[in-house]
Structures are given as structure tokens and as C-alpha cells.
Amino acid sequence: MSEAAAETEMRVREERDGAVLVLTLDYPRRRNALAPRLRADLLRILDRVEGDPEIRALVITGAGEHFCSGGDLSGMDVRSPLQGRERLRAAHQLIRLMVGGSTPVVAAVEGWCAGAGLSLACACDTIVASEGAHFMAAFGKAGLMADLGLPHTLPQRVGPARARQILLYGEPLDAAEAQRIGLVDQVAPKGGALEAAKARARLLADQAPTAIALTKQILATGLDRALDEERHYQSLLFLTDDHEEGKAAFFGKRAPVFKGS
């Protein structure tokens, strides 16, 4: 694939709507899987926007029919503890900016929001989902634990007991159930998540920005410790045989056979 084709194949698109900036994950071949390049693009944009008085709120959505299908297993080839820690260090910079940065963030979810996609959504301040949305945290099927802050942000949304069930079993939730338990803040008609999310973002953009920034900062208390622990544990799991089996099973379209090694 040429460099120009790759640029079109995997990117984060930006679109201004007044004081709101809409960011669209655009990786159609993998249903907007959160590949390292997309994470890097998001981090670059959020870092640029941080403190920009012209951008008062963000919306994150996915191109096409889905929000984000999870991590991109095709690019997940960690071969050393240091490599795993560096992979997470870069990703955690993004999560810190989303959760504790100055700019409020709204997720607009259509279709699937799974794995790292759920982590991304839960790092947002508000989640708007369409009636056709589905949520899942099946990290265990890849021999991994939930990451990108999800062990911290999910219990904040749904409570520790429900978070435990979601993270351990990896079973899907539809939009109605997700709203009932507090995972989703608002449900819109199918195809209407983005417009509803932009309306919420405009309300946030009208608030006093310093008050919003400090509120986000205090609500992020405890995040740094959670990310440090996650970075240590997930870096170990990247190197296990079970993770290799999970990847092989995924690409082979079969059930994994884990051995605890």
C-alpha cells in the first residue's frame, strides 16, 4: 500500500462545529480498531487542543457503522517487557488528557464499542449511544486484561460489582441495558448518536471553561495509580503464551484454548 493510500485507510478526521471539534476514527478495514497510529493521532490532536480557547468541547465518533471494534490485534506484536511498557505509556498519555485534561469529551457511539473502544468511550465525560449500539469488554479472549484506564473508569460509571461482571465475562450489552446500568448517559435513535452528542458538547462548550477543567481534574483523582498498575500487569500479559493463542484463535476464527502460561 502506498503512503497516500495508507493515509486514507487509517486516520482521525477533524471537523469544526463552532466551538466543538468532532474527531472521527476512520479505519474501515478493521471497523475503526484503535491501532497505535490512531491513538497517536488522537494524542497529537488532544495535546494541540489542550488550553485552546477556540475549542471548548470534543466529540469522538467512528466512521461508518461502528464506533470502535477494539485494539488492532494485527499490529499487536510485543516481544519484551520494555516494549509493552512503552506501548502503554504512549496510550496512557491519551487517556490522561481525555479523563483529566481541560477539554470535555463526548463519545458518539453507533454499532460496536468493544475492548479498547469501550476504554476510549469510558474515558469520555459523556457517552451518547444509538439504539443499535452494543458494548463489550472481551479482553480475556485475547489473553489480556482490560486496559487504557478501563479498570478505573468503568467502575466509576457502573459501580465495582457490575464492572467486575462486564470485565470478567466479556458478554455484550445493548444500548438499553447499558443506559440502565449507567454505562451510557443518553440513547438516541439509530443513526442519531453524532447529532445528539454534538448537542451535548455544545452545552459543555457554553460552560465556564476553567470550572469544567478543574472539575475534570478532581474527578480524575486516582487515575495515575490505576494506569501505573495496569501498565505493569498488561506488559506481562503481552508476553504470555495465552496471548499468542488468543491472537491465533482470533485470526483463525476459532475458540481459543488457554493453558494459563
How confident is the model over 176-191, as a mean pLDDT?
Answer: 98
Lowest mean pLDDT of 22-26, 83-87, 100-104, 148-152, name the range.
83-87
What's the rounded Cα separation, in Å, for the pair 91 and 148?
7
What's the rounded Cα separation, in Å, for the pair 34 and 64?
15
Query: What are the pLDDT digits (tens) for 223-251?
Result: 999 999 999 999 999 899 999 998 899 88
Following DSSP, what letter does each residue of 70-96 receive, concatenated? -S-GGG----SHHHHHHHHHHHHHHHH
Lowest mean pLDDT of 54-58, 152-156, 200-204, 257-261, name the range.
257-261
What's the rounded Cα separation, in Å, for the pair 242 and 143?
5
**Measured CA angle at 176 (ends 192, 219), to 5 deg:** 85
What percent of the chain lies above the pLDDT cut of 90?
Answer: 85
**174-181 contacts at long range (C-beta below 8 A, 24 or more positions apart):** 174/133, 174/134, 174/135, 175/129, 175/130, 175/131, 175/132, 175/133, 175/134, 175/135, 176/131, 178/129, 178/133, 178/135, 179/129
Q: Are the C-beta atoms of 237 and 144 separated by less than 8 Å?
A: yes
Q: Which CATH superfamily is domain 3-194+204-211 in?
A: 2-enoyl-CoA Hydratase; Chain A, domain 1 (3.90.226.10)
How confident is the model over 136-162, as a mean pLDDT?
Answer: 96
What's the rounded Cα separation, in Å, for the pair 163 and 152?
10
Q: Please check the confidence at residue 183 and state whether its pLDDT lies above 70.
A: yes
Position 74 scores a pLDDT of: 76
What's the rounded Cα separation, in Å, for the pair 179 and 68?
18
Q: Please check the confidence at residue 48 and state whether its pLDDT lies above 90.
A: yes
Cα radius of gyration (the chain): 17
Query: What are the pLDDT digits (tens) for 154-177?
Result: 999 999 999 999 999 999 999 999
User: What does pLDDT average to over the chain?
Assistant: 93
Q: Are the C-beta atoms of 53 and 17 separated by less than 8 Å?
A: no
Look up the pTM and report it.
Answer: 0.94
5 sits in which H/E element: helix 3-9
Domain extents in the chain: 3-194+204-211
Q: Are the C-beta atoms of 233 and 145 separated by less than 8 Å?
A: yes
Q: Please check the confidence at residue 37 and state whether its pLDDT lies above 90.
A: yes
Q: Please check the confidence at residue 6 and state whether its pLDDT lies above 60.
A: no
What's the rounded Cα separation, in Å, for the pair 248 and 233?
21
Q: Please check the confidence at residue 20 and state whether its pLDDT lies above 60.
A: yes
List the strands of the sheet with 105-109, edge to edge: 11-17, 20-26, 57-62, 105-109, 126-130, 186-188
Query: What are the pLDDT digits (tens) for 50-98?
Result: 989 999 999 999 999 999 999 888 777 777 777 878 888 889 999 999 9
Residues with Cβ < 8 Å from 130, sequence gap 6 or more? 109, 110, 111, 175, 187, 188, 189, 190, 191, 192, 193
Position 8 scores a pLDDT of: 56
Q: Are the C-beta atoms of 70 and 25 separated by less than 8 Å?
A: no
